[in-house]
Chains A and B, each alone.
Chain A
Amino acid sequence: NAGVMQNPRHLVRRRGQEARLRCSPVKGHSHVYWYRQLPEEGLKFMVYLQKENIIDESGMPKERFSAEFPKEGPSILRIQQVVRGDSAAYFCASSGDQGAAYNEQFFGPGTRLTVL
């Protein structure tokens, strides 16, 4: 009975490198959300994806960040040319198909990204 899985749990990158964060939703869930927690701040929405589609990316920075949720495989949050300000905990959540606003979202353990 696996919940939401994220890997890696910890990721260290140097400035200018790429970071790839993976999220496997609860089995059977087709809705994935990414949230970010910057140091000393609360959880902030980044992007909402359904299989092969981006539904709401209003919280994504306009540059360097992208997300996908392919038909097969995990959802990927990709950060190109990382900067120190990208250091944060990135959480993925998944939900079922009862209606987006009313769905309980199940959170993964997060990936803690440190940019040196």
Chain B
Amino acid sequence: ILNVEQSPQSLHVQEGDSTNFTCSFPSSNFYALHWYRWETAKSPEALFVMTLNGDEKKKGRISATLNTKEGYSYLYIKGSQPEDSATYLCAPSSNTGKLIFGQGTTLQVKP
């Protein structure tokens, strides 16, 4: 796994807006795709582990989709709240579980 790209790099939205980010990764030798949420001064927190093409997972207002054939995943946040402000990281994993992190998308939600 070489290049993991996330876009946009940063995002500023108003409270109540819905938003989405993109993670693209090499589609060959795919095992799993992990999404993490990382708040300032805290530890990265796992959101989803996705494995199947077409998979869609949801946790509260946050959901994610996965396309392993074309090598991308979307993360959606519905009705953003200030507490959603964080950096969102995606990371495909190797067969040994090594996570290859993207640079992240930093979300700032203004009240």
Contacts and interface: CB of A to CB of B under 8 A. Distances in A.
A101 B43 contact: no
Interface of A: 3-4, 31, 33, 35, 42-45, 48, 55-56, 58-59, 91, 93, 95, 100-110
Contact of A106 (B46, B95, B97): B46
Given A101-B31, A102-B32, A108 B97 contact: no
Interface residues of B, number: 25
Given A56-B97, A105-B46, 20 more contacts: A35-B99, A35-B101, A42-B101, A42-B102, A42-B103, A42-B104, A43-B44, A43-B89, A44-B101, A48-B96, A55-B96, A91-B43, A91-B44, A101-B32, A102-B32, A104-B49, A105-B34, A106-B46, A107-B45, A110-B43
Contact of B95 (A91, A101, A108): A101
Contacts of B31: 101-102
